[in-house]
């Protein structure tokens, strides 16, 4: 369930960033989503060298193919897979795999503050880094330098939309809040959870369905499994629907796990102990000693 919530939050974050970027582009000004750190020069240089090498291989590949060699023969001669040769020949050129920095960054919640300080005349990356570090920034000074370098490349005055409070939540943080028992959350965590749910009605539905499933798991209420499946199907949330379909493949075992108090945990522990004892004496004794050691450990 935790993996399902993480996938959902990543999709929600991507959609949210795309919508914010589109809105800011319409206004003619960048936002936290569109202000990207500058790619380091050494990274660009390394990419250009790799791309030149790929272009040379693509040209050699086309030459060999024009000479009448089959794709298998070309692949064998160039030390590549036949599938890669077929893909390159179909494209007519080598693929371009330029490195792109992730859009979301630990710097995002502090971008508005840094831009404000930049427009106040503070252009030293080290000073900006120390100021946001005091506010809780966990990244490195190199991250700040790359974002500031992007401003130096375009020094004109720009306006940056302030980051919302929900921007600082990662998918892992949201997952932890979604699967925890609400009674165990502090007031601060409850406020953070409400902030996440307020951003999207889909997020609120996902939280409700996640809590229903976790309640079944904690309280052994397997009889509610059918109702939960119906609610998931009605929600049309892709991640939850795929999760439910996976559970239906072994429905009897899932219902038993949600209803009965039995667990295969003790069995797994005994298997683990057996493997541990066996590996500790590997190559030095046979089955009778292994049996005695296991019984003695028990």
271 assigned to some structural domain: yes
Provide the residue range defining the domain that includes 84: 41-91
Q: Is residue 10 part of a domain?
A: no
279 compared with 166, residue with greater pLDDT? 279
Q: How confident is the model at residue 161 (pLDDT cuts 50, 70, 90)?
A: very low
DSSP designation for 163: P
The percent of residues in the chain predicted with pLDDT above 70, rounded, is: 75
Q: Is residue 23 part of a domain?
A: no
- Name the domain boundary from 142, 160, 178: 160
| Structural domain ending residue among the three candidates 133, 160, 187 | 160
pLDDT, position 24:
44
Note the pLDDT tens digit of each residue in 138-149. Answer: 888 888 887 777
Q: Which of 165, 162, 21, 168 is nearest to 106 (CA)?
A: 168
Q: Is residue 206 located within the same domain as residue 86? A: no
Give the residue from 259, 233, 289, 212 showing the smallest Cα distance to 1: 212
190 plus 242 within the same structural domain:
yes
Residue-wise pLDDT for 39-91, tens only, equals 566 666 777 777 777 787 888 888 888 888 888 888 888 788 888 888 888 88
State the Cα angle at 102 between 201 and 13, rounded to 5°.
Answer: 0
Residue that wins the pLDDT comparison between 24 and 37: 37
Residue 35: pLDDT band (50, 70, 90) is: low
Q: Is the pLDDT of residue 158 over 60?
A: no
pLDDT band at 36 (very low <50, low <70, confident <90, very high): low
Q: Assess whether 34 and 153 both reside in one domain.
A: yes
Report yes or no on whether pTM surpasses 0.85.
no
Question: How many domains does the structure of the chain reveal?
Answer: 4
Non-local (6+) Cβ contacts of 14 within 8 A are none
The reported pLDDT for the residue numbered 160 is: 45
Helix (H, G, I), strand (E, B) or coil at 34: coil
Question: pLDDT tens digits, residue range 255-296?
Answer: 988 898 887 788 888 888 888 877 877 767 778 887 887 777
Asked if residue 183 and residue 143 are part of one domain, the reply reads: no
Evaluated on CA atoms 262, 264, 267, 273, the torsion sign reads: negative
- Domain contains 45: yes
Q: What is the CATH number of the domain that holds 59?
A: 1.10.10
Q: Whose CA is closest to 58, among 17, 95, 26, 25?
A: 95
């Amino acid at each position: 369930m935790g993996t399902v919530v993480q996938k959902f939050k990543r999709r929600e974050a991507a959609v949210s960033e795309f919508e914010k970027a589109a809105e800011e582009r319409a206004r003619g000004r960048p936002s936290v989503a569109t202000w990207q750190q500058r790619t380091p020069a050494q990274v660009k240089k390394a990419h250009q060298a790799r791309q030149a090498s790929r272009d040379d291989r693509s040209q050699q590949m086309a030459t060999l193919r024009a000479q009448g060699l089959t794709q298998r023969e070309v692949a064998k001669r160039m030390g590549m897979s036949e599938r890669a040769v077929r893909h390159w020949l179909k494209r007519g050129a080598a693929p371009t795999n330029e490195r792109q920095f992730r859009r979301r960054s630990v710097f995002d919640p502090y971008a508005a503050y840094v831009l404000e300080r930049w427009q106040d005349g503070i252009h030293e990356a080290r000073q900006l880094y120390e100021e946001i570090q005091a506010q809780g920034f966990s990244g490195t000074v190199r991250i700040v330098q790359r974002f500031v370098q992007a401003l130096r490349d375009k020094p004109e005055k720009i306006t940056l939309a302030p980051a919302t409070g929900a921007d600082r939540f990662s998918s892992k943080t949201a997952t932890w809040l979604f699967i925890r028992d609400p009674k165990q959350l502090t007031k601060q965590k409850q406020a953070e959870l409400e902030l996440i749910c307020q951003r999207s009605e889909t997020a609120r539905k996902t939280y409700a369905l996640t809590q229903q499933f976790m309640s079944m798991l904690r309280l052994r209420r397997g009889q509610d499994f059918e109702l939960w499946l119906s609610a998931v199907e009605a929600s049309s949330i892709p991640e939850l629907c795929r999760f439910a379909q996976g559970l239906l493949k072994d429905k009897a075992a899932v219902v038993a796990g949600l209803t009965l108090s039995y667990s295969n945990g003790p069995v797994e522990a005994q298997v683990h102990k057996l493997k541990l004892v066996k590996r500790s004496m590997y190559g030095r004794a046979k089955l009778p000693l292994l049996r005695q050691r296991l019984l003695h450990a028990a």
